[in-house]
Structure 1
Amino acid sequence: MIRINLLAVDRDKKKKKAVTLQAGQKMTIGCSLILMLAVLFIGWRYWALSRESAQLDADIAAAQQETTRLHSIIQQVQQFEQRKAQLQQRVVLIEQLRKGQSGPVHMLDQISRALPPMLWLTELKQVGPSDVVIDGKATTLTGLSDFVSNLEASGYFKRSIEIVSTNTETVAQPASELVKFSIKATFQQPGETQPPAAGAKPGL
């Protein structure tokens, strides 16, 4: 008589089912964990990007405000520079007018101071913005030389003064000869002068 142990077969089937069930549960749990981690990572990444985006928006807004402020400052600086340039032009114009008014007075004063003894002037005429022609007479050529040296040493006339012409003129009473001369000089302000010549004779 043959006996079949059905209980052993049932136990083997139950073991196989239990093993299969446990493997499926582990796989399901693993997939669930992976999915949860992926969702958490995506959520964290989205939050981080949102935060960075908000920070960038704030930085851009601050930069725009700073740009607006700097633009206003630049406009104020430009207005200040324009105002400064206008004031400088006015100062230059006033200085030019002042020099133009005082120039002839100083020129005549220096010419008068430079006159040596026995020399006198017959004509003085302006031939340019700063050039002047001086005509006169002297008893000697030395007097003319002293006059030119004194003008150059005054600091109000540029060197070298040009002697345009010299002629001898005879005078009947008393019988003598005079030196008739014409010189050309360029007037300048004292701040533009060259150092005075050493040994120049002062005018009387």
Structure 2
Amino acid sequence: MITINLRPGQKRKRAGSPLDGLNERLKAAGARIKDPMLIAAVVAWILVGSWIAWSWTSNARELHALEPRLSQAQVEHKRFASFISQKRHQELIRDSLLAQIGVIRTVDGDRYIWPHVLDEVARALPAYTWLVELTPDGALMAADSADTTTKALSFKVTGRTVDIQAYTRFLRQLEASPWIQNVTPVSAQTVVEHERPVTAFTIKATFRKADSAYIRTVPLSQSVR
């Protein structure tokens, strides 16, 4: 398209920039706004908006950075939850076994008392001394300890000896036993048996469960051989 200037004496005005009109409108608005409080409010709103935008951007950046740690924490939580579940299951099994062992000890706790008593009395018996009677002296009593399955048994030993020193040695060896306590001589007198004088004695004592250091266990297959 061809444009002909019919007025050559006049120059064509340049097209104005759209920003020039915006600047003029801002200047005109600034000239009309004379209230400083309004200006302060506008500036405050601008600052608040800028702070909100900066906070949102910063929080979004931090959230994006924390997402891998969150995923790792979720994996660790699942792993520890599984571990805790297995631990509780094992604790239930342990408690069940302990309860069964407690029942067995309650029912079977006094089964091997007399074998221990006979073994310790026979071990303490010196030469030239023999037993006439070994009997319980009262019922089983609960021992004075935290272990309620342990019971104390009072028993009485009646015997003969041809040597009074053997009698005193028998008392000392009974007292040294970890399974026997409260060894008390009841009587000791000279009697005639088979036309010879001997010392007849009676001793009272109490069975107690020895410390674990004195208890020796062996496999069942070895004990029956």
Normalized against structure 1, the TM-score is what? Answer: 0.54
1:148 is aligned to: 171
For residue 107 of structure 1, give the secondary structure of its aligned residue in structure 2.
helix
Note if contact 1:103-1:189 (Cα within 8 Å) is conserved in structure 2.
no
2:192 equivalent to 1:171: yes
2:158 equivalent to 1:135: yes
2:184 is aligned to: 162
For residue 130 of structure 1, give the secondary structure of its aligned residue in structure 2.
strand
Residues matched between the structures, number: 166
1:8 is aligned to: none
Which has the larger Rg?
1
Task: Name the stretch that deviates more: 47-56 or 119-128.
Answer: 47-56
**CA distance change for structure 1 residues 29 and 44 in 2, over 3 Å: closer, same or farther?**
farther
> Per-residue deviation at 1:134?
1.5
Compute the RMSD of aligned alpha carbons: 4.7
Note if contact 1:117-1:143 (Cα within 8 Å) is conserved in structure 2.
yes
> Per-residue deviation at 1:58?
5.2
Q: Could you tell me which amino acid in structure 1 is paired with residue 176 of structure 2?
A: A
Pick from 33, 51, 62 the counterpart of residue 60 of structure 2.
Answer: 51
Whole-angstrom distance in 1 between the partners of 2:67 and 2:173:
78
Note if contact 2:189-2:199 (Cα within 8 Å) is conserved in structure 1.
yes
Task: Name the stretch that deviates more: 112-121 or 83-92.
Answer: 83-92
2:191 equivalent to 1:191: no
For residue 180 of structure 2, give the secondary structure of its aligned residue in structure 1.
coil
For residue 172 of structure 2, give the secondary structure of its aligned residue in structure 1.
helix
Task: Name the stretch that deviates more: 102-111 or 46-55.
Answer: 46-55
Whole-angstrom distance in 2 between the partners of 1:95 and 1:149:
31
Note if contact 1:157-1:186 (Cα within 8 Å) is conserved in structure 2.
yes
2:223 is aligned to: none
Specify every segment of 5 or more residues in structure 2 that has no aligned partner in the other structure, as ranges.
1-19, 30-41, 141-150, 215-225
1:118 is aligned to: 128
